[in-house]
Amino acid sequence: MKRRSFTQSLLALPAAPALLGQEIPKIDFSVPDAGAEPVPHFFTAPQLAAVRRLSDLILPSINGTPGALEARAPEFLDFLLGQSPADRKALYRNGLDALNATARRQYAKGFADLDATQADALLAPLHKNWTWDAPTDPLAAFLREAKADVLAATVNSREWISVVSQRSRGASGTSIYWHPIE
């Protein structure tokens, strides 16, 4: 068999069931996130609990708009940081460990277990006015980066876009958000 005739027979192969009168089965696909919960790979259990609490404090759900937890920002950050450069990984690991250590030293429990008033006291560096100069305190530098990352991960999530796009005709990203290939 010559190469040309072999290639032509391969091209006709998808049409064979239709020519023979057989129905082609349709395969249903699903979004991977809908099938299972993501498994954390970068954060340890105490660090993930602290990131979840920090995310909820930075951007809670308000008036039906999903917050960071509903948008799965902590899970996305776990994925993102697992693929990030070493200095960014160190910033998050050291920052979360310092946040948990400070909470244990002041309140005898981890950051994830603090009430709103106690957590707010530890997040005092976030209440300072923003400047172009990065904070010199490592915990304050971490909190500043974490806040920006949580906000970006939340407002760029599928959950956020789907809710916000229903409210406003001018919502950006509503028609260009990535969808599963069908």
Please state whether 173 falls in left (phi above 0), alpha (psi between -120 and 50) or beta.
left
Instruction: Tell me the pLDDT of the chain averaged across its residues.
Output: 82
Q: Which of the pair, 9 or 175, is modelled with greater confidence? A: 9
Q: What tens digit of pLDDT does each residue of 68-95 get?
A: 999 999 999 999 999 999 999 999 999 9
Q: What is the DSSP string of 52-105?
A: HHHHHHHS--BTTB--TTTTTHHHHHHHHHHTS-HHHHHHHHHHHHHHHHHHHH
Does pTM top 0.75 for this prediction? no
**What does the pLDDT read at residue 148?**
93
pLDDT at 173 over 70: no
pLDDT category at 163 given cuts 50, 70, 90 is confident
Q: What tens digit of pLDDT does each residue of 7-31 get?
A: 777 676 676 666 666 666 677 666 6
pLDDT category at 161 given cuts 50, 70, 90 is confident
Q: What tens digit of pLDDT does each residue of 102-131 get?
A: 999 999 999 999 998 999 999 888 888 877
pLDDT category at 35 given cuts 50, 70, 90 is low
**What does the pLDDT read at residue 64?**
86
What the block records as the tokens of 42 is: 């970068």
* Cβ(71)–Cβ(160) below 8 Å: yes
pLDDT at 171 over 60: no
